[in-house]
Amino acid sequence: MSENASDKSRQRLIDEYTEIARLAGALAHEIKSPLSTIRLTMEVLSEDLEQPETERERRTLNMAKTVVTQCLRLENILNQFLMFAKAPAIKPTSSDLNAEVRAILDFYREKAKQKDIEILTFLAPALPPIKLDKDAFGCVLWNLINNAEAAMKKGGELIVRTYPVPEGVALDLIDNGSGMDAQTLEKLYDAFYTTKSNGFGLGLPTVRKIIEAHGAILEVQSELRRGTKFTIKFPAPPMIADSRENAADRLQRELEEENRLNTEKEKNAEKEKNAAKETVNPEILTANDIEERRKEENYG
């Protein structure tokens, strides 16, 4: 298959996927409305039967509460699916990565204490601003934090660090939890794949879509019974990237000019040295000749 045909086939698949995602999102919205009505109705019924007097009322109350629980579960699935379907539609603005990370971690610290999880932060100073959709990034970070928490059932350490990289800035989340095997890593971003009893398998696929929509890269390393490391590499805005490139070009030009001047100095010094060796001083020779002649005359 030619490269052009391959590109057309890939684009057709993308278009088909986009249309399916749009229809699925619309369907999810249509389901949410009657589902919410069912849940609210069951909640009202549960309140009316809060003090059952007969066995039938007690049985009805239990069934109503079960319906409410399942409706909440379905609403949660639909919300995650809608987030997954809409993930690429982000609105990034110039943001301070460290500030966004601190805000979310400050909100999480109390829960971390309850779970016996120690948060260690290493945030590099003076990082360049990056383009972020703050709400979408919050979804990403919360998902990764919740995954780390689930992997550290008996507590542990969560290391969060930021640092500059050639392409922009990077964010690491490292836990010392249960880790993942090769099979789990292979299916990690498959929609609806989960190893959790109460999970839906849409968290990490959504995370990856949001990260890619930012033009960023998501990497993962994990070892069973040792822990997991997620890395997000964000690109620097073009202006910053250009300034870095210009600075590098300027430094290169300065080094080349300095080398050129040093080379010229060395060549000139060598020329002067050679010229000094080859040049005969006529005044000195003349003086010597005169002295020799005087000696000859005196002895003569």
CATH number of the domain within which 82 lies: 1.10.287
Say which residues have a Cβ less than 8 Å from residue 296's Cβ, sequence separation at least 6.
none
Co-location of 133 and 262 in the same domain: no
Domain identity same for 246 and 225: no
Q: Are residues 121 and 66 in the same domain?
A: no
Contact indicator for 228, 176 with CB cutoff of 8 Å: no
Per residue in 17-39, pLDDT tens? Answer: 566 666 666 777 778 788 888 88
Q: Are residues 232 and 245 in the same domain?
A: no
On whether both 107 and 229 belong to a single domain, the answer is yes
Cα distance between residue 77 and residue 27, in whole Å: 13
Helix/strand/coil for 61: helix
Residues paired with residue 117 on neighbouring β-strands, in sequence order: 156
What is the pLDDT at residue 298? 59
Length of the chain: 300
- How many domains is the chain partitioned into structurally? 3
- Residue 297's pLDDT is 58
Mean pLDDT of the chain: 79
Give the domain extent around 228.
93-236
pLDDT on residue 108: 92
Task: Tell me, yes or no, whether 184 and 137 share the same domain.
Answer: yes
List the pLDDT tens digit at each of the 300 positions of the chain: 555 666 676 566 556 656 666 666 677 777 878 888 888 999 998 898 888 889 998 999 999 999 988 888 888 777 767 666 665 567 889 999 999 999 999 999 999 999 999 999 999 998 999 999 998 899 899 989 999 999 999 999 999 999 999 889 999 999 999 999 888 888 887 876 676 666 666 778 888 888 988 889 999 999 998 999 999 999 987 654 444 445 445 556 666 776 677 777 777 767 766 665 555 444 444 555 556 656 665 555
Cα 179 to Cα 72, 149, 197, 222, 226, distances in angstroms: 30, 12, 17, 5, 6
Distance between start and end Cα atoms, the chain: 109
Q: What is the pLDDT of residue 152?
A: 94
pLDDT digits (tens, 9 = 90+) for 110-161: 999 999 999 999 999 989 999 999 988 998 999 899 999 999 999 999 999 9
Q: Which residues of 120-133 are buried (b: 16+ CB within 10 A; e: fewer)?
A: eeebeeebbbbbbb
Boundary-marking domain end, from 30, 63, 86: 86
* Whether 212 and 157 share a structural domain: yes
Whether residue 80 sits in one domain with residue 13: yes
Of 177, 174, 162, nearest to 119 by C-alpha is 174
245 and 228 assigned to the same domain: no
**Cα separation, 230 vs 13, whole angstroms:** 29
Residue 175: name the closest of 251, 241, 119 by CA: 119
- 125 and 206 co-located in one domain: yes
The strand ranges marked E within 129-283 are 130-132, 156-165, 168-175, 217-223, 227-235
